[in-house]
Amino acid sequence: MKFYGEGLPGVDATHLAGKLIVIEGADGSGRSTQIEILKDYLEGRGHATVDVGLRRSTLVSEELQEAKQGNVLGEITRSLFYATDFADQLENRIIPALRAGFIGLADRYIYTLMARDIVRGADRDWVRSLYGLALVPDLLIYLRVSPSQLVERNFRKNATLDYWEAGMDLGLSRDIFDSFIRYQRLIQKEFTLMQQEYGFNAVNGNRSIRSVAGEITARVEGLLGI
C-alpha cells in the first residue's frame, strides 16, 4: 500500500498484508447499513475485519465532543483536532490491523473531513497536504444520495436533522431544512471535485439496500479476486 503524501514517520506501508475498504457518504446515505452487510459477507467467507470511523480515538475525544457542542474552536483548530483523531486511529488501529492481514472497513475517511473543511473556507492545498499522511485505500465507495432523499431518511430515523450535518454553523440559512439541503449540495460538489483525483467509485445510493449491497459486493469481489 502507499500513502497519499509523505505518510507517517517510521511507518513502512509496503508490507501491509490487509486491505482497506472505505465507504463514504452523508448521514442517511446508508453507510453504516452497508458496512454491516459487507462485514457479514466478508466474515462469512473467513476474512477478519476491523471497523474504523471518525471520532473514535480517545486521544482528543473530549475536545471533539466540546467542539460539537459549541463554537469554542476556530476553524483551523477544529480541523486539526479531527486530523489528530484520524491520525491516531490510522496509526494505532488501521495500520496494525492491516499489518496482521485484516480487512479494514472504514465508515468515512479523510474525504468527509476534507470536504467539511473546504466548504468552511479551508485552503484546498493545505487540507490535501495535511491528509498526505493517510493511506490510499484499496477500494473507495462513495454512496451518492440526493439531498432530498437524505432529508427523508434522516427524518425517518431520528425525526430531526443534525445541526452539523445541516451545516448550521455556516449560516447558510436560519432554517435547518433549507440549510441542510444547501449544505449537502456544497459537500456533494466537493466530492464531485475530488472524485477524479481520488478515484471514487460512485454508487447510486438512492436505490434499495439490497441493490446497493449487490453493487458493493461485486466491487469487493473484484478487489479480493473472489
| Binding positions for other proteins, 37-96, rule CB under 8 A | 59-60, 62-63, 66, 72-77, 79-81, 83-84, 87-88, 91-92
Residue 5 binds other proteins (CB under 8 A): yes
Residue 121 binds other proteins (CB under 8 A): yes
Residue type, 117: D
To the nearest whole angstrom, how small is the minimum distance from the Cβ of residue 119 to other proteins?
12
| Cβ-contact 128, 114 below 8 angstroms | yes
DSSP codes, 137-166: PSEEEEEE--HHHHHHHHHHHHSS--TTTT
| Residue given cell 463514504 in the structure block | 24
To the nearest whole angstrom, how small is the minimum distance from the Cβ of residue 112 to other proteins?
18
Residue 197 binds other proteins (CB under 8 A): no
Return d(Cα 166, Cα 182) in angstroms, integer. 8
| Cβ-contact 194, 113 below 8 angstroms | no
Q: Which residues of this protein are in contact with other proteins, per CB under 8 A?
A: 5-10, 59-60, 62-63, 66, 72-77, 79-81, 83-84, 87-88, 91-92, 121-123, 125-126, 129-130, 132-133
